Amino acid sequence: MSLKRILIGSPIETVREKHERLSKSTGLAIFSSDALSSVAYATEEILLALVVAGTALIDYSMVIAVGIAILIAIVSTSYFQTIHAYPSGGGAYIVAKDNLGTNAGLVAGAALLIDYVLTVAVSITAGVAALSSAIPSIYNHKVLISLVAIALLMIGNLRGVREAGKIFSIPTFIFIISMFVLISVGAARYFSGDPAPEPQVLEATSSYFALFVVLKAFASGCTALTGIEAVSNGIRAFKAPEPRNASVTLIWMAAILGSMFIGITFLTDHYNILPMENETVLSQLTAAIFSRGPFYYVVQFATAFILILAANTSFADFPRLSSVMAADGFMPRQFGSRGDRLVFSNGILILGLLAMSLVVVFKGQTHALIPLYAVGVFLSFTLSQSGMVRHWLRLKGKGWQKGIVINGTGAITTFVVLIVIASAKFLHGAWIVIIAIPVIVYLTKKVKRHYDSVADQLSLTGRKVQVEYTHHSVIVPVSGAHQAVVNAIRYAKALSEDAVAVYVCFDPMETTRVKQKWNTHGMGVPLIVLESEYRSVIEPLMDYIDGVRETHRGGVITVVLPEFVPTRWWQHLLHNQTAWMIKGILLFKRGVVSTSVPLHLDDK
């Protein structure tokens, strides 16, 4: 507990929840870091896709960037509508479930959960790649650095929403400022007639059809849109008035994202920069404009930090979405519980562990993870915007015609992009996500059926009054005659007149000694000796219990377990844990109750 307090701080009272809300600027840092940081690798992903055809298609990078910027405007405008239509939180899961049905909602929820995990893995590995571009000596340690970064993010978010916002705000704004300085200086040099370097001439390395290559590049660049929905998912995290503050934050984010993405792609094209294995495109661009002076390192470190902190968007939204789905019965209820710091601690921990697993499996390679990216988020975009169209048609409130046009345009656009992304990336890893989504939907339905079944069986409505037990048998498994056993026997006699002790015989001579002690200290309770052919305590004991159940079918059995409790935690490791094993097995036997009678030892 002391270590926990050092890492995540003291508990926060529930009544202070409203004081933990976010301002617009802090909300921008918490919910926009994912989307904003994507400019560090989205242009590079476009170029990586185009370069397979040699230099012939490189000039299409700017056309693709403009198309993606238009898409950012469309999707952001659509989610602006969603924020005001669902002021309590309008994530794709809620909107799709309310308007398109439970199945659509579960598909949207599963897609987003997968995307959040991938966001953490991609953002962290991309951040470490930016760092290794400036410090090449750490390149071979990128997996370990990525794991440490995820662990630090987990701790930061476990400390609470507002405190996480304070921690992550400064790097976010340093990154934004450094990007605009880079773009402004680069643009100034361009308009002043600064000559561009000679373009690199590449042989065509593939005979891919040009249109397919361009579409694949567009699909790769659409990673710039991941994270746009985060603000609409986290409306309740903002200070009042929540919808207004959230929508303003969304506008800021879209404007900053679009302008930075266009600016970086334009300058990359102007300086004829192509992807390299050990250095990012952004690193090359910064070096081309500022050389490798102090500002170069400012940009690289700011990029590394924002990419690492971009995972924080997922740490804000994954737990919130999990808690909403848990409240509906589609996720384990543990995801709906807030921790000491008023955050959904279980969701934060599970997200971190899943992301760590991906980093290890894919060896910290951003480009290996990218093909899995964006499929889920564009599926959730499509379902959310389609749900909003149905919402306007169903309620026909103020401005519903405009809402249909905006959200309808968003739904059609994102659906077309979804098809492009799924087809272009299918063989490169997108098939994993396409298979995983229905699997998660199936599992969420199984969870829901379980909770419904439990609720039905626990309900008193329409149930007959149960008759009392006809008999109460008490069984005390003993390992010998000692003080802990005597305490348990005393308790057993208080429960029922039909109390017996059961001893499993391994050694006839030891059994004789136990019987002799029992005659003196057994308090009149019969001692039943069971033979064990294979030196097992569990099997003969369970057979005996089953026999008592058959004899008294309308009765109940209480198994009283004598236990002694050492004073030090490590001393438990020095003793057998047979009682724990017995309790675990008895938990699944009908009509049998287990209870422990502890004897607390002194520290001598």
Q: Given a cut of 80, is residue 374 above it in pLDDT?
A: no
- CATH label, 472-600, candidates 3.40.50.620, 3.40.50.2000, 3.10.20.740, 3.30.300.30: 3.40.50.620
CA 473 to chain CA mean position, Å: 47
Give the number of other Cβ atoms within 10 Å of residue 10's Cβ: 8
Q: Which tens digit of pLDDT belongs to each residue from 578-591? A: 888 999 999 999 89
Backbone angles phi, psi at 563, to 5 degrees: -140, 140
Give the tens place of pLDDT for each residue, 472-508. Answer: 999 999 988 889 899 999 999 999 989 999 999 988 8
Per the prediction, the chain carries an average pLDDT of 83
Is-contact 414 213, C-beta < 8 A? no
In the three-class reduction of DSSP (H, G, I as helix; E, B as strand; rest coil), residue 564 is classed as strand
Range in 75-79, 207-211, 287-291 with the lowest mean pLDDT: 207-211
CATH 3.40.50.620 residue window(s) in the chain: 472-600
Cα 2 from Cα 323, distance rounded (Å) = 27
Q: 50-101, pLDDT tens digit by residue?
A: 887 666 678 788 999 999 899 889 888 888 888 888 887 657 888 899 999 9
* Mean pLDDT confidence for 355-378: 82
Residue count (the chain)? 604
Rg, C-alpha atoms of the chain: 31
> What percent of the chain is modeled with pLDDT above 70?
90
pLDDT, tens digit, 9 for 90 and up, residues 291-302: 888 898 888 888
Query: Which residue ranges does the chain devote to CATH 1.20.1740.10?
Result: 2-10+18-447
pLDDT at 160 over 60: yes
Q: How far apart are CA 325 and CA 109, in angstroms?
A: 8
One DSSP character per residue, 123-186 reads: HHHHHHHHHHHH-GGGGGGHHHHHHHHHHHHHHHHHT-HHHHHHHHHHHHHHHHHHHHHHHHHH
pLDDT value at 392 more than 70:
yes
CATH classification code of 2-10+18-447:
1.20.1740.10
> CB burial class (10 A; 0-12, 13-18, 19+) of residue 66?
middle
Residue 304 has pLDDT above 90, yes or no: no
pTM over 0.85: no
Q: Which of 230, 246, 260, 243 is nearest to 25 (CA)?
A: 246
Helix or strand run (H / E) with residue 569: none
Is 538 within 8 Å of 582 (Cβ atoms)?
A: yes
